[in-house]
Amino acid sequence: MVQTAIQLFTLADVDEPLPDIVARVGETTFDGVEFYDAHFDALADDETRSQTHTALEDGDLEVAGAHVSVDRLESGFEELVSICHEIGCSTLVIPTYEPEAFATREGVEGAADRIAGLAADLESHDIELLYHNHTFEFGSVDSEVAFERFVDHADGRFGFEPDVGLATHAGYDALALLEQVAGAAPIVHLTDTVPGEDEKLHADVGEGVVDIEACADRAAANGADWIVCENGRTTDALASLEHGSEAFAELRERASS
């Protein structure tokens, strides 16, 4: 059955310690959380890590994954692996990359090779590595969409976390994105957006133009384990948490029916 999670960047403006943030999510319908890069600073502290683990257990939450920059992954590999094992995180996600790399074929293929090398290193520690798209990957490179060349060159060496809202904002069809990575996307970011409005790069689901239900159906049909809520541009984080909890409970039921 497809499970639901919230990317905790949605709650970045909530001025509370990480364990308290996780506890808040535990009071919702979400099945899990997805951490983001800055959380590894907090989780490096033994007490915070222990309290976060307790909050996850008390809230009956799983760790869907964690976003981590490629630079942090390269420079702090052993520490990241240790933290992941302690908090029950078996999936790391590269959330973005240098946009200029996706401006040339050589840059696209170099990015894929770099990420593939890290994925191979993580595999020996039973951790999967995924790539999460932003918007810049959907420009044209040698008459081909850069992201499509990226997926082709990855050639199964790492997986993907498609963000349907960001792709839509860039003018790329959300369902086409899901088909592009079908079978290689255990986590899907079901986000909404309003193209042409930067402040609506992300929006609460139902407030933009993405057909979220169709994307949820396609994600489930393609074998996704998790559908993830995120609104990185929210002006009311707790309202977005409540709205997402309600909306994703319905999407989970729909995807599992």
User: pLDDT tens, 24-80?
Assistant: 999 999 999 999 999 999 999 999 999 999 999 999 999 999 999 999 999 999 999
All residues at 6 or more sequence positions from 30 whose CB lies less than 8 Å from its CB, including other chains: 4, 5, 6, 61, 229, 244, 245, 248
Taking Cα atoms as reference points, which of 85, 68, 92, 62 lies closest to residue 2?
62
170 φ, ψ (degrees, to nearest 5):
-85, -5
pLDDT at residue 210 above 90?
yes
For residue 138, the surrounding DSSP H or E stretch is none
CA-to-CA separations, 38 to 17, 65, 113, 131, 184, in angstroms, rounded: 12, 14, 25, 17, 26
Above 90 in pLDDT, residue 252? yes
Cite the DSSP H helix spans in the chain.
18-26, 39-43, 46-58, 70-75, 77-87, 105-123, 146-154, 164-169, 174-180, 212-221, 237-256
CA distance 195 to 171: 8
pLDDT, residue 66, reads 98
Q: Which helix (H) or strand (E) holds 67?
A: strand 62-67
3-state secondary structure (DSSP) of residue 231: coil
pLDDT at 1: 87
Going by pLDDT thresholds of 50, 70 and 90, the confidence category of residue 255 is confident
DSSP string, 94-131: E----GGGGGSHHHHHHHHHHHHHHHHHHHTTT-EEEE
> Which residues, in sequence order, are CB contacts of 125 under 8 Å at separation 6+?
81, 84, 85
Model confidence at 179: pLDDT above 80: yes
| Helix, coil or strand: residue 175 | helix
pLDDT of residue 257: 77
- Give the separation between CA 62 and CA 3, rounded to whole angstroms: 10
Instruction: State CA 79 to chain mean position distance.
Output: 21
The percent of residues in the chain predicted with pLDDT above 70, rounded, is 100
Check whether 254 has a pLDDT greater than 90.
no
Query: Taking a C-beta distance cutoff of 8 angstroms, is the pair 3, 32 a contact?
Result: yes
